[in-house]
C-alpha cells in the first residue's frame, strides 16, 4: 500500500505517525525511544460449543523477546456468567477487569437485576476507549475477548484496541498467536467431522488445546503445554449453571490421549 511504513515499523503506532510526517510530542518521542519493553500477554480464544462457551488462554507473558512468566492468568471472571480474556498489557487489563466487575456488582445491587448483555459489552467498550491515551503511547494496549451466557445462550464478543466491539458467530481469538488459532478453528468448524456448535465440552477442550499448541509452534510469545514444569493452558467453560474451570488433571489426560 502506498505510503505504508517499512515492515520494521509494523504494529508501532508512533512509527506509523512518524512515517507519515507527523511530529511526535516530546514526551511521546521519549517513550518511543527509551521505554523498556512492556510486559504483554497472549494468546486467548473463545468458542461456542453445544452447552455454552469455552474460553482458553496460554500462560506465557513476554517483554520484547524475553519470557517474563510462564504461569500468567489471562482469563478473568467478571461475574457468574461472564469471562474477560485478555491479550495485551496485563497491568492495564487487570485494572480494567476490576472496574468492570465492580460496575456489574453495583448495577446488580442498585437495580436488583443483572445488567443486560448489551450493557456489559458497551461497558467494556467504554473502558477501552478511556484507555486510548495509554494505547497511543504504546504502553497500555489491551485487545480482549468477552464471553458470556444469557437467556439466549452463549455469546462471544471481540474488540479492537479503541473499543469497537463485534459479536462472533462461532469463535474469536486475540493476541500474537491469534492468526494460527483462527486458522485451526475455522478449519475444524468448516471441514471437521462436525461444526464447533455441536461439540461436547471435552471435544471443544481438545480443539482449544490443539489450537493453542499450533500457535505456540510458530509464535514465540505463545506458550504451549510444558509437561516438565507441569504448566497447562487455562480453560474455563460458561454454561447455564455458571463458570467452571477444567482442571489440570483433566487437561493432562486429554494431552496424553488426544493432543
Which residues are annotated as catalytic? 42
Residue 5 host element (H or E): none
- Name the one residue in this structure whose C-alpha cell is 504451549: 224
Q: How far is CA 131 from the centre of its chain?
A: 17
Axis crossing angle, helix 178-191 with helix 201-218, rounded to the nearest 10: 140
As a whole number of angstroms, the distance between CA 124 and CA 158 comes to 10
- CB-based contacts of 85, cutoff 8 Å, min separation 6: 44, 45, 46, 55, 57, 74, 75, 76, 144, 145, 146, 147, 174
The Cα 69–Cα 60 span in angstroms is: 6
Place of cell 495509554: 134
Strand ranges, E, within the chain: 39-41, 44-49, 52-57, 61-63, 66-69, 75-79, 82-85, 145-150, 153-159, 165-168, 171-174, 234-239, 242-245
Asked if the peptide bond before residue 124 counts as cis, ω within 30 degrees of 0, the response is no
Please name the residue that has the C-alpha cell 485487545: 143
Burial 89-122 (b: 16+ CB within 10 A, else e): bbebbbebbebbbebbeebeeeeeebbebeebbe
Amino acid at each position: 500500500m502506498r505510503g505504508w511504513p517499512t515492515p520494521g515499523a509494523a504494529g508501532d503506532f508512533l512509527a506509523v505517525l512518524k512515517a507519515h510526517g507527523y511530529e511526535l510530542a516530546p514526551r511521546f518521542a521519549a517513550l518511543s525511544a527509551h521505554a523498556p519493553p512492556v510486559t504483554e500477554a497472549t494468546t486467548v480464544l473463545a468458542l461456542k460449543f453445544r452447552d455454552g462457551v469455552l474460553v482458553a488462554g496460554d500462560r506465557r507473558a513476554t517483554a520484547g523477546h524475553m519470557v517474563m512468566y510462564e504461569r500468567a492468568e489471562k482469563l478473568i471472571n467478571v461475574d457468574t456468567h461472564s469471562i474477560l480474556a485478555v491479550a495485551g498489557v496485563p497491568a492495564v487489563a487487570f485494572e480494567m477487569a476490576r472496574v468492570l466487575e465492580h460496575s456489574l456488582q453495583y448495577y446488580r445491587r442498585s437495580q436488583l437485576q443483572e445488567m443486560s448483555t448489551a450493557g456489559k459489552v458497551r461497558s467494556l467498550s467504554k473502558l477501552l476507549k478511556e484507555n486510548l491515551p495509554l494505547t497511543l503511547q504504546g504502553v497500555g494496549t489491551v485487545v480482549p475477548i468477552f464471553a458470556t451466557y444469557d437467556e439466549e445462550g452463549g455469546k462471544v464478543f471481540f474488540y479492537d484496541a479503541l473499543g469497537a466491539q463485534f459479536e462472533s458467530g462461532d469463535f474469536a481469538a486475540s493476541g500474537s498467536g491469534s492468526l494460527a488459532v483462527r486458522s485451526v478453528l475455522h478449519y475444524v468448524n468448516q471441514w471437521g467431522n462436525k461444526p464447533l456448535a455441536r461439540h461436547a465440552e471435552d471435544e471443544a477442550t481438545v480443539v482449544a488445546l490443539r489450537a493453542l499448541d499450533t500457535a505456540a509452534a510458530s509464535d514465540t510469545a505463545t506458550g504451549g503445554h510444558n509437561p516438565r514444569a507441569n504448566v497447562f493452558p487455562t480453560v474455563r467453560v460458561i454454561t447455564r449453571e455458571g463458570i467452571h474451570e477444567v482442571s489440570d488433571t483433566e487437561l493432562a489426560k486429554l494431552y496424553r490421549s488426544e493432543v
